[in-house]
Chain A
Amino acid sequence: MKKPLAAWRRIPRAGRACLLIAFVNAAVWGVVVPPFQAPDEIAHFGYAQYLAQTGKAPSQGPGAQYSPQEQAALENMYFFEVIGHPGERGVLTRTEDSALRAALVGKNPLGEGGVSSVTNQPPLYYALEAIPYWLSPSHEILNRLVFMRLLSALLSACTVLVVFMFLRELLPGSPWAWTVGALVVAFQPMVDFIAAGVQGDNLLYLASALTFLLLLRAYRRGLTMRRAVAIGAVVAVGTLAKLTFIALLPGIALALLLLAWRAMPAGRAQALRALGTAVAIAAVPVLIYGLLNLTLWHRGTITAGGVAGATNSSLPGGGSISPRETLDYTWELYLPRLWFMHHAYFTSYPLIAIWLNESVGHFGWLDYNFPAWVYQDAHKIFYVLAVLALIGVVRARAKVRPLLPIFACFAVMAVGLLGAIGYAGIRYQLNNGTQFVQARYLFPLLVFYGLLMVMAARGVGRRWAPALGGALVVLAMVHGLFAETLTISRYYG
């Protein structure tokens, strides 16, 4: 008990304040967003409930996706009528509320573990969610959901703290920057919308942010055995949180090799032992998970179909997706289409339409937005901030230069994520006819969002940087507040 307390005290007071602010803010979001209206929350809750009830990951058979209890809640909250229809509302009257309560009485919380959009994911987040599920003093599904959402809020708040620590490691001489970077993430409304719900991405974001922090710390301070253990553990957590994390692994491997190489002069054997320890600690839990899938849980393949589902190149009408098409799609997803790319995969430029606009706000089950002028104004603000951030980086070039090798590894991690989104995206889009990609898929890179804002503030020069940083935080607060009022008008207005 003394060690965690000492570790807590070692965190600067501002960092602890950022954690608490982020937690309460995300918890408020969790109350504002109606049950199951966070992205894919019905499926995430279904997985967590099945695991909590049975102690096993879903077998993904042909049975029902949700427990009779969850199904009754969804139907009597008019869930399927509300999603995708911004004019529709859920329970608005006491008569409807009474009908919902009556429908939930005696409903079985044990489902059949049928296949859903998330059942092929690893179980770590859902296993953690089993704790508040059972700690809830009431077994009523909506009461349990409140406590489960609080865990998501806590994970998100921890991500904010990690952003703070990352910036502290990167910019030790600018304490204002740590707070500014952490708080712009804390008030980012799309981050909060995910944090509001039972959503496995919350653990992915935390594990990704921690990975960047630990790699940076090991780069600056050396790869000790303790740091190697921490890196291995966080990589295991990330891989067991969501398979998306696999996309970061090549960059992480490169970073570990770099760290071991830098540690060689101090002792070759020690460096190799640290490297081996990190790899072993990362790999063993993942291998155990794979074995459980194949044996006790009967989930078909070592990844329970998670990798195969995202990488299947066959098309329903015959034929398959070529590597060239995948490359074209991935390029067009982030950059302007070039003259030799004959297939236009997007009707509008994704950098603006997806990555920027959806980061500003595309809420619910992608069914409500801010008014159009908000996005137009946000573009202008973003362009100014991007230029300022560039100036900030140029100004900090002397400090950045020694960090280039580890940032090159971070770049490989980021490219891995962008590539994985593109690889899975074209397969989903051509197989289902609808767009797969959402801005939140980039949130494993949240530490760099915090860094971007800090660099933008530094772009105006040392004297005014804290002032602009403060203004950016207030802008994020106002942005978040209006996102909440928009959400209230969407569901209750």
Chain B
Amino acid sequence: MGVRLVLVVALALGAGALALDMSGSAQRLAGTDHTAPISFVATLHAGQELCQPGMVLPGEVQSVQVLVGTYGPPVPELTDRFVEAGGRVLAAGRLPAGAKQGNVTIPISHVHGGSASGTLCIAVKGGKTTVLGGNAFTAGPASEQVAGVPRPGRITVVYLRPGRESWWRLLPTLSERFGLGKATFFGDWTLAAAALALLGVWIATARLLWRELS
């Protein structure tokens, strides 16, 4: 009896802790440009625009986060736009002046939906000198370009999803991501299948303990 009671209580506590953990809300990631912020790699003066090719704009994106340094003063007004190969602007946004230097989030409205390839441009509308964080990269067609000139580096870009979401709410997105970048026979179903298999493992273990320990 004691064993069974302990098992039931422990399993219930475990399941409860999982439910609680999954309910925590936060702003979630939509994607990144796969560039780690190692150092400041771009310097922009008032009115200049940095464009970075080879970018993928995730579908459900509401804002773009970049590492901005101003050497003290508030961050000047920043604008962003995402341009596809044909020159059409797929998404754009603006952050008014006044943000604190560091990780700065610039809104971006993505009206066409779905992930897309193209170029992300960030323009500085004022201030003296603004630097952006990123990583070293050979200057060329794939590197960042400031005022149309290729520069050695690529800036770090983090795409954020709208609002704050719990893991429960993010599950459909997680399911989609879980099937990507893996075996070709994996897909949106894989996370659910893995969860079911794990549930099976838990049930089998509980039954085994029930039988062997009682």
Indicate if B117 sits at the interface (CB-CB under 8 A).
yes
Residues from chain A with Cβ under 8 Å of B18 in the complex: 478, 481-482, 485
A92 touches B21 (CB 8 A): no
Residues from chain A with Cβ under 8 Å of B116 in the complex: 95
Q: A179 is contacted by which of B2, B178, B208 (Cβ under 8 Å)?
A: B208
> In terms of DSSP, what is the predominant structure of the interface of chain B?
helix
A493 touches B29 (CB 8 A): yes
- A sample of 5 cross-chain residue pairs with beta-carbon separation below 8 angstroms, ordered by A number, consists of A77-B181, A92-B29, A140-B184, A463-B2, A478-B13
Selected interface stretch from B3-11, B105-113, B139-147: B3-11
Per the 8 Å Cβ criterion, residues 424-483 of A in contact with B are 463-464, 466-471, 473-475, 477-478, 481-482
Q: A25 is contacted by which of B6, B28, B198, B212 (Cβ under 8 Å)?
A: B198
Indicate if B129 sits at the interface (CB-CB under 8 A).
no
Indicate if A322 sits at the interface (CB-CB under 8 A).
no
Inter-chain CA distance A14–B58, complex, in Å, is 48
Inter-chain CA distance A143–B181, complex, in Å, is 11
Q: A175 is contacted by which of B178, B194, B212 (Cβ under 8 Å)?
A: B212
B212 touches A14 (CB 8 A): yes
For B205, give the chain A residue with the smallest CB separation.
A21
Flag B10-33 by CB within 8 Å of A: 1 or 0 each: 110110011001100000111110
Indicate if A91 sits at the interface (CB-CB under 8 A).
yes
Flag A171-196 by CB within 8 Å of B: 1 or 0 each: 00001100110010000000000000
Indicate if A321 sits at the interface (CB-CB under 8 A).
no
Indicate if B209 sits at the interface (CB-CB under 8 A).
yes
Inter-chain CA distance A468–B2, complex, in Å, is 10
Residues from chain A with Cβ under 8 Å of B202 in the complex: 477
Indicate if A394 sits at the interface (CB-CB under 8 A).
no
Q: B36 is contacted by which of A31, A88, A481 (Cβ under 8 Å)?
A: A88
Inter-chain CA distance A237–B158, complex, in Å, is 47
A474 touches B10 (CB 8 A): yes
Indicate if B170 sits at the interface (CB-CB under 8 A).
yes
Chain A residues packing against B (C-beta within 8 Å): 14, 17-18, 20-21, 24-25, 27-28, 31-32, 34-35, 77-78, 81-82, 84-85, 87-97, 100-101, 138, 140, 142-143, 145-146, 175-176, 179-180, 183, 463-464, 466-471, 473-475, 477-478, 481-482, 484-485, 488-489, 492-493
Q: B201 is contacted by which of A21, A93, A464 (Cβ under 8 Å)?
A: A21
Inter-chain CA distance A28–B11, complex, in Å, is 20
Inter-chain CA distance A17–B170, complex, in Å, is 34
A466 touches B115 (CB 8 A): no
Q: A464 is contacted by which of B2, B167, B208 (Cβ under 8 Å)?
A: B2
Residues from chain B with Cβ under 8 Å of A78 in the complex: 34
Inter-chain CA distance A88–B59, complex, in Å, is 18
Report B50 CB to chain A, min CB distance, Å.
Answer: 20
For chain B, the count of residues having a C-beta within 8 Å of the partner chain is 58
A32 touches B194 (CB 8 A): yes
Q: Identify the 4 closest CB pairs spanning chains A and B, nearest first.
A: A91-B181, A474-B10, A93-B115, A478-B14
User: In the complex, given contacts A78-B34, A473-B205, A493-B174, what are 16 additional A-B residue pairs having Cβ atoms less than 8 angstroms apart?
Assistant: A14-B208, A18-B208, A21-B205, A34-B181, A81-B36, A92-B31, A94-B114, A94-B180, A95-B115, A179-B213, A467-B213, A474-B7, A478-B14, A481-B14, A482-B17, A489-B167
For A80, give the chain B residue with the smallest CB separation.
B34
Inter-chain CA distance A31–B14, complex, in Å, is 22
Inter-chain CA distance A479–B190, complex, in Å, is 22
Q: B197 is contacted by which of A27, A84, A493 (Cβ under 8 Å)?
A: A27
Flag B159-187 by CB within 8 Å of A: 1 or 0 each: 00000000100100010111011111110
Inter-chain CA distance A93–B181, complex, in Å, is 9
Residues from chain A with Cβ under 8 Å of B204 in the complex: 17, 20-21
Inter-chain CA distance A92–B33, complex, in Å, is 10
Residues from chain A with Cβ under 8 Å of B58 in the complex: 92-93
Report B2 CB to chain A, min CB distance, Å.
Answer: 5
A96 touches B180 (CB 8 A): yes
B14 touches A95 (CB 8 A): no
B213 touches A87 (CB 8 A): no
Residues from chain A with Cβ under 8 Å of B101 in the complex: none
For B179, give the chain A residue with the smallest CB separation.
A97
Residues from chain B with Cβ under 8 Å of A100 in the complex: 181
B213 touches A484 (CB 8 A): no
Inter-chain CA distance A31–B17, complex, in Å, is 23
B212 touches A138 (CB 8 A): no
Report B67 CB to chain A, min CB distance, Å.
Answer: 11
For A90, give the chain B residue with the smallest CB separation.
B181
For A92, give the chain B residue with the smallest CB separation.
B31
Indicate if B35 sits at the interface (CB-CB under 8 A).
yes
For A178, give the chain B residue with the smallest CB separation.
B212
Residues from chain A with Cβ under 8 Å of B34 in the complex: 78, 81-82, 88-89
A470 touches B56 (CB 8 A): no
Residues from chain A with Cβ under 8 Å of B102 in the complex: none
Per the 8 Å Cβ criterion, residues 111-132 of B in contact with A are 114-117
Residues from chain A with Cβ under 8 Å of B6 in the complex: 467-468, 470-471
For A187, give the chain B residue with the smallest CB separation.
B205
B205 touches A183 (CB 8 A): yes
Indicate if B200 sits at the interface (CB-CB under 8 A).
yes
- Given the known inter-chain contacts A143-B184, A176-B213, please indicate yes or no for A477 contacting B170, CB distance below 8 A: no
Q: B208 is contacted by which of A17, A82, A89, A94 (Cβ under 8 Å)?
A: A17
- Given the known inter-chain contacts A92-B58, A145-B183, please indicate yes or no for A473 contacting B197, CB distance below 8 A: no
Residues from chain B with Cβ under 8 Å of A493 in the complex: 28-29, 167, 170, 174
Q: B32 is contacted by which of A20, A87, A175, A484 (Cβ under 8 Å)?
A: A87
